[in-house]
């Protein structure tokens, strides 16, 4: 029995699917399938009842899952504690969506490193949804995210600000003089959308769907400067955080009516040991804002 086999088994138990578990763990389905077969062979037990697209734990599988979860929790706790004891300082792994990094970094990071010069930080650009899942999977220590997604309760969180989404256009856009805008007014408008692992995208798609609108998307982008340049050339508008407007001189942000509010904050694992370096960053963030 190997720890990685237990991790794969528990992931399939949670998602009831090898395909979904492979997406969450970023490994191939055959690797997960083989790990489960090896466990079943080693302990002479059937862990799952298999159907076409669904995996259900057997009675023995449920008992195995409880024990495996306890063992993995103990292993993770011990690994974190040992890492704290070690002489080498492990960098804090922080996930940041590109648009939010434009708002909060590098000023925030520079101030943290000024206060804690001996604490290294590694930043990884991911959309909020993927970053939050990577925190759950222990691939990241923290993530700066849009907090308006349904799995937020599975994580510890601290809200930094409440922002609103505005429709950003060039001064030459035919909506440039509008004081506010509705979702319905974007029908047939060329718009730029953020990447698919973005909470902001999910929020907007819900609003479009409720209004019975299919947006005319001319680009799915991840980089703020690409979006800004398209807007400047009056090729379309984009629904962005109002906090970004100070980085977009000459462009116009039109509020939605009714407002589309978004909570932005940091998330970290719930019910797990948090090492002293990560605790420093959490405490710093709460004080910084």
Give the count of beta carbons closer than 10 Å to the beta carbon of residue 171. Answer: 11
Q: Are residues 153 and 273 in the same domain?
A: yes
What's phi and psi for 212, nearest 5 deg?
70, 30
167 lies in the same domain as 145: no
149 and 269 housed in the same domain:
yes
Final residue before a domain boundary, out of 63, 85, 107: 85
Q: How many CA atoms lie within 13 A of 230 on its CB side?
A: 21
Q: Which of 30, 65, 85 is the last residue of a domain?
A: 85
Residue 234 main-chain phi, psi, to 5 deg: 60, 35
Q: How far apart are CA 9 and CA 71, in angstroms?
A: 13
Q: What is the CATH number of the domain that holds 222?
A: 3.40.190.290
* Domain co-membership, 62 together with 202: no
In this prediction, residue 84 carries a pLDDT of 63
Query: What element of type H or E holds 246?
Result: none
**Residues 248-274: tens digit of each pLDDT:** 899 999 999 999 999 999 999 988 778
- Looking at the 3D structure of the chain, how many domains does it have? 3
Hey, what are 35's tokens? 């790990």
Note whether 268 and 146 are same-domain residues.
yes
Contacts of 100 (CB under 8 A, 6+ apart): 128, 144, 145, 146, 241, 264
Residue 170 sits in the same domain as residue 213: yes
Q: What is the pLDDT along the chain (289 residues), one digit of tens a residue?
A: 888 899 999 999 998 998 888 888 888 989 999 999 999 999 999 999 988 778 999 999 899 999 988 888 888 877 777 766 655 678 999 999 888 888 887 889 999 999 999 899 999 988 888 899 999 988 999 999 999 887 889 999 999 999 999 999 999 999 999 999 999 999 999 999 887 678 888 899 999 999 999 999 999 887 888 999 999 999 999 999 999 998 889 999 999 999 999 999 999 998 877 888 899 999 999 999 8
213: cis peptide before it, omega within 30°? no
Same domain, 118 and 230: no
On whether both 237 and 276 belong to a single domain, the answer is no
Q: Is 281 exposed, middle or buried (0-12, 13-18, 19+ CB in 10 A)?
A: buried
The last residue of one of the domains, among 45, 66, 85, is 85
Same domain, 124 and 170: no
**Whats the size of the chain, residue-wise?**
289
Does one domain contain both 51 and 81? yes
> What pLDDT, on the 0 to 100 scale, is given for residue 209?
94
Which SS3 state, helix, strand or coil, does residue 36 take? helix
The span from the CA of 158 to the CA of 265, in Å, is 5
Rg (CA), the chain: 22
Could you tell me which residues come within 8 angstroms of residue 62 by beta carbon, excluding any fewer than 6 positions away?
A: none
**Domain of 49, in residue numbers:** 3-85
Residues 80-113: tens digit of each pLDDT? 777 666 556 789 999 998 888 888 878 899 999 9
CATH of the domain at 123: 3.40.190.10
CA distance linking residue 47 with residue 18, whole number of Å: 13
**Same domain flag for 235 and 110:** no
From the list 159, 139, 137, 138, the residue with the least C-alpha distance to 148 is 159
pLDDT of residue 88: 65
Q: What is the DSSP string of 153-210?
A: GGEEEEEEEEEEEEEEE-TTSTTTT-S-B-GGGGTT-EEEEE-TT-HHHHHHHHHHHH
Same-domain pairing of 254 and 173: yes
Between the two ends of the chain, the Cα-to-Cα distance in Å is 46
């Amino acid at each position: 029995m190997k720890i990685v086999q237990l991790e794969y088994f528990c992931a399939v138990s949670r998602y009831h699917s090898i395909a979904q578990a492979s997406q969450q763990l970023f490994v191939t389905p055959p690797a997960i399938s083989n790990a489960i077969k090896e466990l079943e062979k080693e302990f002479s037990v059937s862990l799952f009842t298999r159907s076409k697209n669904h995996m259900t734990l057997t009675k023995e599988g449920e008992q195995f899952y409880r024990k495996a979860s306890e063992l993995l929790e103990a292993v993770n706790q011990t690994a974190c504690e040992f890492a704290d004891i070690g002489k080498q300082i492990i960098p804090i792994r922080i996930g940041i969506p590109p648009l939010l990094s434009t708002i909060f970094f590098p000023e925030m990071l520079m101030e943290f490193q000024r206060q804690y010069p001996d604490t290294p930080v590694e930043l990884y650009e991911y959309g909020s949804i993927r970053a939050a899942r990577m925190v759950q999977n222990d691939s990241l220590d923290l993530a700066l995210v849009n907090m308006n997604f349904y799995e937020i309760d599975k994580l510890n969180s601290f809200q930094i600000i409440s922002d609103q989404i505005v429709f950003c256009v060039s001064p030459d856009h035919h909506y440039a003089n509008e004081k506010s805008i509705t979702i319905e007014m974007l029908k047939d408008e060329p718009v730029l959308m953020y990447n698919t692992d973005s909470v902001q995208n999910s929020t907007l798609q819900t609003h479009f769907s409720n209004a019975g609108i299919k947006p005319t998307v001319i680009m799915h982008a991840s980089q703020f400067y690409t979006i800004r340049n398209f807007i400047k050339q009056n090729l379309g508008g984009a629904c962005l955080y109002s906090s970004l407007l100070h980085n977009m001189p000459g462009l116009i942000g039109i509020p939605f009516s009714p407002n589309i509010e978004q909570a932005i904050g940091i998330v970290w694992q719930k019910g797990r040991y948090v090492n002293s370096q990560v605790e420093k960053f959490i405490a710093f963030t709460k004080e910084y804002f």
